Amino acid sequence: MQQLSDPMAAIMDKLKAKSQAFSETTVAIEEPEYNCPRCKDTGSYLVRKKNGYFIRGVEVEQDYYVECECSKMLKTNRLIKSSAITEEFQKMSFKNFSTDGVHPKVIEMKSKANQYYTAFDEVRGFRQNSIMLIGQPGCGKTHLLTAISNYLIHAKQVPVLYFPYKDGMNNLAANNFERKNEIMDRMKEIDVLFIDDLFKPIGGKVDVKAWQAESIFEVVNYRYLNNKPLLISSELSLDDMLYIDEALTSRLFEMAQDFTVTIPKDMKVNYRLRKVFENR
């Protein structure tokens, strides 16, 4: 009996020890933990760097605060949320913009968009700081400008606001005076404003109400005077835009003169219809 109980006791001891260890880990998990152990949720951490000074032949090291990746991610997430860019549009990049078999003008448009993004830091503070892609609907203008917006937010943490012209105008009309001013102020002050489908025709007809023209002019003129970049798409030609609003269009053209591409109206350019033509 004695011989049997000893191993039994040993097993019991082992089990006890195990359960104690388990409860200890449980306690450890319950202790307050940081979302980001690296910076302990402060948003920055110290790194020791050599600073190029030597004392008696030994390079001096100094502590520097660097912004933690978690802080950058948080900022990016906030910017995505406030940009009004939908989940579907957040996927748009230069990489997933296919140029197989498209009109040469569409290839030029993509390369212009790329150039604009590359030049952004240099041009953003100047009058000529914007990009305008106009003409043929459905050839990927929105895709490319959305891609630029996404890169600006993710890689440079630049605040961007997406303003789809038709829905945005309906939204302005549905709001009271105070709220309308609030939205317009945001459109004026945001670092980058993306106006998608400016003067979008409805049922093939361009119908711009006086208050709509005034509102959009107020925003564009403010941004023109304060050197704030615009990303503009429109399916109208420059001539049509000039006819609708000369003052507005001439400002847009001045701001985007280095980065304007007009896609000719030609069914085969149509990005959405390309598949149909390929199958013929």
Residues that bind Zn ion (CB under 5 A): 36, 38-39, 68, 70
Question: For Zn ion, which is the closer residue by CB, 7 or 37?
Answer: 37
* Cβ 63 to Zn ion shortest distance, Å: 17
Taking the CB of residue 21, how many other CB atoms lie within 10 A of it?
A: 10
Question: For Zn ion, which is the closer residue by CB, 36 or 244?
Answer: 36
* Euclidean distance between CA atoms 187 and 21, whole angstroms: 58
* Cβ 64 to Zn ion shortest distance, Å: 16
Question: For Zn ion, which is the closer residue by CB, 68 or 123?
Answer: 68
- Nearest C-alpha neighbor of 263 from the set 147, 117, 109, 112: 109
Instruction: Answer yes or no: are the C-beta atoms of 196 and 161 closer than 8 Å.
Output: no
* Cβ 47 to Zn ion shortest distance, Å: 13
β-partners of residue 194 are 162, 231
Instruction: Answer yes or no: are the C-beta atoms of 85 and 162 closer than 8 Å.
Output: yes
3-state SS class at 140: coil
* Cβ 37 to Zn ion shortest distance, Å: 8
* Cβ 65 to Zn ion shortest distance, Å: 12
The label of the residue with tokens 């296919």 reads: 98
- Nearest C-alpha neighbor of 234 from the set 130, 153, 151, 154: 130
Question: For Zn ion, which is the closer residue by CB, 75 or 180?
Answer: 75
- Nearest C-alpha neighbor of 262 from the set 100, 149, 131: 131
Question: For Zn ion, which is the closer residue by CB, 24 or 67?
Answer: 67
